[in-house]
Structures are given as structure tokens and as C-alpha cells.
């Protein structure tokens, strides 16, 4: 959406429920749905990457800078992704329940859970 005009600039279509969105530093948008994170080109509306590795629905996303992002899932994990290569660099496993929110705090990551 264009917040100045109220007009829709581009429509991105995913056949699944989207539970989270995140703007990446390179201008692309990441969406969390089902067990995947998809990275979209905001100019064309096309999916450029599908990141797989979560075993349950992705509930939260957060850009970390330096070409990285975090995803929190119903599988009780947080994954740190390289958005250039699409590879998972790190999986954090200390949550006992769904990870419902992730947030960048400087060089650290804050997370919330049920």
C-alpha cells in the first residue's frame, strides 16, 4: 500500500494464509505461511526464494540487517536465515511453546512465546 495515496502499489499472491510480513533491507518483502518463509520482489510481485526448514507454521518474522532475518514458528524454534543464499545459518531451540514474536534489538534478538 502507498500510505500517502491509499492506493495498492502491488499485490503479492500466495495460496496459503500469510501469518507474518517483514520488510527486508534490500527492498524485498518476506512472508511467513505454513512451514515456509517466502521472499518476494516488490516490483514484480514474484516469489524469488522459498526458505524451508520449519516443521510447523511460521508465526513471526524480523529483519536483522546484513542480509539476515529471523523467523519464529509453532515448532518452538527460531531460525536465522541468510536472505541472499536462502540457507538457515542457526536454529534456536530453547522455547517451550510456540514462538509468536521476534524482534531485532541492536545486535541481539528478542523473542516472545505462548
Mean pLDDT, rounded, of the chain: 94
pLDDT class of 26 with cuts at 50, 70, 90: very high
Task: Using the structure block, give the residue that is written with the C-alpha cell 503479492.
Answer: 12
Quick one: which H or E segment has residue 60? strand 58-65
> pLDDT tens-digit profile of 56-109?
999 999 999 999 999 999 999 999 999 999 999 999 999 999 999 999 999 899
Tell me what the mean pLDDT of segment 19-36 comes to: 94
How far is Cα 14 from Cα 33, in angstroms, rounded to an integer?
9
Nearest C-alpha neighbor of 51 from the set 66, 35, 36, 30 = 36
How far is Cα 82 from Cα 74, in angstroms, rounded to an integer?
21
Q: Would you say residue 15 has pLDDT above 80?
A: no
How far is Cα 41 from Cα 29, in angstroms, rounded to an integer?
7
Task: Using the structure block, give the residue that is written with the C-alpha cell 542457526.
Answer: 90
pLDDT at 16: 80
Amino acid at each position: 500500500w502507498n500510505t500517502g495515496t491509499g492506493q495498492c502499489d502491488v499485490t503479492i499472491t500466495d495460496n496459503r494464509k500469510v501469518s507474518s510480513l517483514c520488510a527486508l533491507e534490500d527492498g524485498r518483502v518476506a512472508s511467513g505461511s505454513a512451514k515456509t518463509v517466502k521472499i518476494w520482489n516488490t516490483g514484480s510481485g514474484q516469489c524469488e526464494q522459498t526458505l524451508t526448514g520449519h516443521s510447523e507454521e511460521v508465526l513471526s518474522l524480523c529483519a536483522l540487517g546484513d542480509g539476515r532475518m529471523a523467523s519464529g514458528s509453532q515448532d518452538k524454534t527460531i531460525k536465522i536465515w541468510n536472505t541472499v543464499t536462502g540457507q538457515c545459518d542457526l536454529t534456536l531451540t530453547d522455547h517451550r511453546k510456540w514462538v509468536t514474536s521476534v524482534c531485532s534489538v541492536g545486535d541481539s534478538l528478542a523473542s516472545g512465546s505462548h
